[in-house]
Every structure is written in structure tokens, then in C-alpha cells.
Amino acid sequence: MTIRVPLVEQRDASYDILIAPGLVRRLDRILPQYCPAAAYAVVSDSHVGKIYGEDLEKRLSALG
């Protein structure tokens, strides 16, 4: 299945990618500061999900 996500924009759509050790442990500060939103989605593959998924889900759930 293919889902098209149109991203035609007339503005600068640049964004920052944070790369640093320990970012997951600081999600409670990082998310509101860098990407405030009503909801978030996490996209992963089966290998990374097995390693980090459960911990990340617990941390995000604790944030509400």
C-alpha cells in the first residue's frame, strides 16, 4: 500500500535534527521546547523497536 503525503509549500520547510547522547531521557524538556504538539507518532523498524520501543513508550506515556 502507498499513501501519498503532499508537501507542497510556499515557505521554508527546513527543520533541525537533534543528535546527542541521552535525548530520550530528556524528552520531557525536548518535546515541548522543540516540537510542541497535541500528539506525537514514533516510526521505527523492528530492530530498533525491540531495543528502544518499550522504554520510549513508557517515557512518552508518562508525559501524557
Could you tell me the CA-to-CA distances from 63 to 8, 10, 35, 50, 57 in Å, in that order?
Answer: 32, 34, 14, 21, 10
Residue 6 in any domain: the answer is no
Q: Which domain holds residue 44?
A: 25-63
Residue 41 in any domain: the answer is yes
Residue 30 in any domain: the answer is yes
Residue 10 in any domain: the answer is no
Tell me what the mean pLDDT of segment 49-56 comes to: 90
Gyration radius of the chain over CA positions: 14
Total-model pTM:
0.55
CB 13 within 8 A of CB 7: yes
First to last CA, the chain: 31
Dist CA 31 CA 64 (whole Å): 12
Residue 31 in any domain: the answer is yes
Confidence class for position 51, pLDDT limits 50, 70, 90: very high
Residue 42 in any domain: the answer is yes
